[in-house]
Structure 1
Amino acid sequence: MNLNILFKDYIIYNIIAGIIFSILYMLVDGFAKYYNLIYGILIIGIAAWSLGRYTLNKIEDDKIRSGVQAAWLLVSFALGYVSIIYAPVLSSSIQITVVETILSLVQIVWGAILLGMSYKNGYSIIKV
């Protein structure tokens, strides 16, 4: 499959994930409530910015470079989210924690695979 399409799908997934994290804001209390809202808005912002850059670039290499940058940022933030998510686990239900964990792990694994594929094709965050 084309690397451009994979990055576009990944960015769209992250917009949806950001919306879900923002919705989880209403379902939890305490620290997790505000953390989900801020993380959701951050993910939506990064993904929307990346989607804009992706659609404005006409050259395939530039699209892949913007996808590499987006994936690198999203994977970095998702790793940070997973490392902090278990701190407020007592103030949240197990179902919400499971949803948050699954969404974050999909972000991490999918993004890491895309980054690996990109690096194999000669794209890296250093070169972009």
Structure 2
Amino acid sequence: MNLNNLFTYYLIVNFLMSIAYISLYIADIAYFVKIYNLTYGVLVLFLCIWGVIRYLRNNNMEDKTRAGVQFSWLIVSFALGYISIIYAPVLYTTPSIVAIESLMSIIQAVWGASLLYLAYRRGYSIIKV
């Protein structure tokens, strides 16, 4: 798969994930989890918009790839952080919400890892970025 196509799909998936987290905010009943879902959803939405702007602004293919790798690294970091926080004992929520949120975070991490893997195969690394 082409790196640009995967980055495009990755942006679409993360945009949909942010909408899903914002809708979880509306559906949830626990106060802390509601605020956290809204914050996380808005943050991912902001990162998607920022990633698109940086990606489209660069004319050089190497700069586009660099912006894509940086964006995917940010999203993977947030997704893995979200998985660890959702299991914190401070969160009181139903098992179904935990399962749905964890599944969405795992999907984000897998997409990001795939994008990073393809970028590494082309010679890019986080240190080079």
TM-score (ref. length: structure 2): 0.91
Please identify, of 9-18 and 82-91, the stretch whose mean Cα deviation from structure 2 is larger: 82-91
How many residue pairs match? The answer is 128
- What secondary structure, in the 3-state scheme, does the structure 1 residue paired with 2:27 have? coil
Structure 2 gaps of 5+ residues are none
CA distance, structure 2, for counterparts of residue 30 and residue 127 of structure 1: 42
CA deviations over 1:105-125 (Å, ceiling 9, x no partner): 000111112112211211112
Amino acid in structure 1 at the alignment position of 2:20? I
Q: Could you tell me which residue of structure 2 aligns to residue 56 of structure 1? A: 57
- What secondary structure, in the 3-state scheme, does the structure 1 residue paired with 2:26 have? coil
Q: Could you tell me which residue of structure 1 aligns to residue 17 of structure 2? A: 17
Q: Report if aligned partners of 1:14, 1:44 keep a CA contact under 8 Å in 2.
A: yes
Structure 1 gaps of 5+ residues are none
- What secondary structure, in the 3-state scheme, does the structure 2 residue paired with 1:7 have? helix
Amino acid in structure 1 at the alignment position of 2:33? A
Give percent identity, aligned residues only: 51
Q: Report if aligned partners of 1:8, 1:67 keep a CA contact under 8 Å in 2.
A: no
CA distance, structure 1, for counterparts of residue 66 and residue 91 of structure 2: 40
- What secondary structure, in the 3-state scheme, does the structure 2 residue paired with 1:58 have? coil
Written as runs of structure 1 = structure 2, the 5 A alignment for 1:30-41 is: 30-41=31-42
| Alpha-carbon shift at residue 52 of structure 1 (Å) | 1.2
- What secondary structure, in the 3-state scheme, does the structure 1 residue paired with 2:126 have? coil
Q: Flag the 1:41–1:88 CA change in 2: closer, same or farther, 3 A.
A: farther
CA distance, structure 2, for counterparts of residue 5 and residue 65 of structure 1: 15
